[in-house]
Structure 1
């Protein structure tokens, strides 16, 4: 009688590549935080920059997508790990008519090492797709007439006489 094979579990494909990118990111972050103190605290070590560069290379060569949160913390220009107050500055801008439109807020993350800036929308909700909007709208003429009839029909409340 043949041995039963253990059932194949659905794991993460290329798990070793994910582990490698995670290690490179953690090492670059650690070296950036502990590289220098004092006046040159915003300058990451050359090894931290090399690890950030290696992280980008590994993810591109192996076609492993980095998460959006991880990508937002790496400078595209110099591969520095962006740490608020240390290697990055965060400001919120609103260039709309004196800042009157709250949905037009933009988070600007600036790299203090190379001066590059990233811009991310803040507070704006993503618009629904056209198909989703059509699903919510009444589709037939009968539904529209029923909806309008329900809105125009006055509601009477019973009154009690004392």
Structure 2
């Protein structure tokens, strides 16, 4: 006698991996912001900063690296918004004005094509660049595209053409002799 199988649980598969990656991202962002704030406060209050851990940025980099490792090993896809805010080279959380700079470039014939704008995010630590198109319309996904017009087959084309009475092998003298 076969055992009854329990119904499968509904919801997000590998929920623990999603929650872990979310926590790692939030912690890395917090420590990156904290490292920028401690650099500004370092000149004002040297006594307080000597007691506080000075290696916030190093820990933030380690958490970013852990985030990438967890997502790869657990085969969890990170959202595109989250991936855009992490440097691929050094795993820094890219925060405009703190750890990254943003610029808009348009190298198309002197900037005449407005749909060719590209946002370039440059990492302040390693100098790597990420480029994202801004004004261009995205092509619809393959499932949402309309299929191309069906081309007629050769048999349909040959059926539509009229059949000539003169064969191509006849010569001009044969055509002149044939009453027509």
TM tier, smaller: 0.7 to 0.9
CA–CA separation in structure 1 for the residues paired with 2:82 and 2:126: 19
The gaps in structure 2 that reach 5 residues or longer are: 1-5, 43-54, 152-180
Corresponding position of 1:151: none
Q: Give the aligned CA root-mean-square deviation in angstroms.
A: 2.8
The gaps in structure 1 that reach 5 residues or longer are: 1-5, 140-162
Total equivalences in the alignment: 133
CA–CA separation in structure 1 for the residues paired with 2:144 and 2:15: 36
CA–CA separation in structure 2 for the residues paired with 1:131 and 1:47: 44
Question: Is the partner of 1:23 in helix, strand or coil?
Answer: helix
Q: Which has the larger radius of gyration?
A: 2
CA–CA separation in structure 1 for the residues paired with 2:134 and 2:70: 30
Q: Summarize the Cα distance change of 1:102–1:63 in structure 2 as closer, same or farther, 3 Å threshold.
A: same
CA–CA separation in structure 2 for the residues paired with 1:127 and 1:106: 17
Output the TM-score relative to the length of structure 1. Answer: 0.72
CA–CA separation in structure 1 for the residues paired with 2:41 and 2:127: 18
Pairing of 1:60-139 with structure 2 (within 5 A): 60-128=72-140, 132-134=145-147
Corresponding position of 2:27: 27
Pairing of 1:8-19 with structure 2 (within 5 A): 9-19=9-19
Q: Summarize the Cα distance change of 1:87–1:8 in structure 2 as closer, same or farther, 3 Å threshold.
A: same
Q: Summarize the Cα distance change of 1:116–1:48 in structure 2 as closer, same or farther, 3 Å threshold.
A: same
| Pairing partner for 1:53 from 56, 62, 65 | 65
Structure 1 residues 82-105: Cα deviation after superposition (integer angstroms, max 9, x where no partner): 001110101000001110001100
CA–CA separation in structure 1 for the residues paired with 2:93 and 2:135: 25
